[in-house]
Structure 1
């Protein structure tokens, strides 16, 4: 082997893989002893309002791809907002700044309905491909843009592709975010550690099981095709909720308007919320409310 080649992972010294694993880690469990109002379970519904940004991020400007994203803003968001209003459920909308700039009235509608707005990158960039300066600049610009449009500064972030670069946690700490919702080291909220150091930042974990994209996403020129009927996804998510309720924990769900705002999939969310509401005392909360409650309960 040439001496100028980087060693293979199986050749790493123990210090190398220990440092990689320990860079961002789950700290103390923040599951509270009780949820507000005597609820048996907390429910946090979220939407990643990506719209046109994944196509734009990849340099695709064809009207066909952009129209699919436009559907999210033009048709899906009003449908989903009406559905949430019927069930009286607050939600958190994580919005790329470019989506917000393309559809500023949408941000106004979220705020008017009492929903939370969180940061979701600038143009749905792949933050793990960026250096520190670019990642920090895009995160700060996103934060400032959403504050200007919404009239309130977001306290939470979801990285565009559910991943951290070597710089992400440091940027999140520097910019004063209270919570992140991008990682998946537990079922329940936990505190993030930076190289073993408690950060005070709450992680509200996501999971691909509780995301609509793996079941319904479509890529015309790739092998990605919707493969699960909505009624089967309803069963999966119902089982996930029932498990969270049995544990007295948190049920967190991630949806995309351009994916789940279609008629048959909005039906799925409608039925799921009916099941949740009928199950007994439930605390529907924004991610911000969840983070504040678990952190206060842990003190």
Structure 2
């Protein structure tokens, strides 16, 4: 791929796209792995820090940078922190679905999945200033044809899968905005002694190294004309020291006038309007063909 492979691909003559997203689970991700965590106030407070301090610091950083962001929130968290989220999303930020209660959609039936997806969307819509149209998988694997269930439940895009560096469309027309783990904060900063997060311990690298990684990735995405998606969590990058990493990253991104800094919904709508279908050799289609072939062999 050359640096001109996506020339003219983005709107307004921009070279690349950049999305800043926030994942606000309020500890549901940790409780899903260690159910007894709710009864352990010392450990659970590590995740509660996001509400106490982290969200305010992230919002201040976004306001200083003058950007709009995409927040992925479970429905049950929206019920618990409705007033906080109203204050967050009303000025410049969109709120999107992160499921209902951090459920695994690969472990429940299709009707149950659709019901929970609709329930989440309806609850978030009561808070959001935007039309809730996007989804991020909370846990587990992406069930086959899950895109069809999302469309049935009223969603038009997802930011859950990998497989590319630019948006692509599922066969159902659901737009996928790809995300990558190296552009999350949790793999670098999540840490707790008991229960052990991560298992085996040892994490929290040099802050300068993390910022270097994120900037190096952004520079490469810009060079090749791709879609950069940073994923932040208030409990991990909302600390007094780490918020400086967010501020430095945003200062770097906004220093270029050829970057389309947009919300995930903006990017998804733009891609849908272009009507681009994923090619036959795209990973999402290769996977479908592989599963069909394996099932035909089993018959």
What are the within-5 Å matches in structure 2 for residues 1-299 of structure 1? 33-57=8-32, 58-60=34-36, 61=38, 62-150=40-128, 152-161=130-139, 163-166=141-144, 168-192=146-170, 198-220=171-193, 221-222=195-196, 223-298=200-275
The C-alpha deviation readout for 1:59-84, integer Å capped at 9, x for no partner, is: 33122233222211121111101110
Distance 2:21 2:167 in 1: 15
- Report which of the two has the higher share of strand: 1
Q: 1:127 offset after TM fit, Å? A: 2.5
Distance change >3 Å, CA 66–CA 149, structure 1 → 2 = farther
Are the equivalent residues in 1 in contact too, given 2:118–2:154 (CA < 8 A)?
A: no
Distance 2:14 2:72 in 1: 25
Distance 1:151 1:87 in 2: 21
Distance 1:67 1:150 in 2: 27
The C-alpha deviation readout for 1:195-214, integer Å capped at 9, x for no partner, is: xxx22111000111111111
SS at match of 2:143: coil
Distance 1:145 1:224 in 2: 37
Q: 1:32 offset after TM fit, Å? A: 8.1
SS at match of 1:264: coil
SS at match of 2:70: strand
Q: Structure 1 regions of 5+ residues with no counterpart?
A: 1-30, 193-197
Q: Structure 2 regions of 5+ residues with no counterpart?
A: 1-5, 277-299
Q: 1:167 offset after TM fit, Å? A: 5.7
| Count of residue pairs the alignment pairs up | 264
Distance change >3 Å, CA 76–CA 284, structure 1 → 2 = same
Q: 1:162 offset after TM fit, Å? A: 6.8
SS at match of 1:149: coil
Distance 1:244 1:264 in 2: 26
Are the equivalent residues in 2 in contact too, given 1:218–1:226 (CA < 8 A)?
A: yes
Are the equivalent residues in 1 in contact too, given 2:148–2:172 (CA < 8 A)?
A: no
TM-score w.r.t. structure 1 length? 0.82
Q: RMSD of aligned C-alpha atoms?
A: 2.0
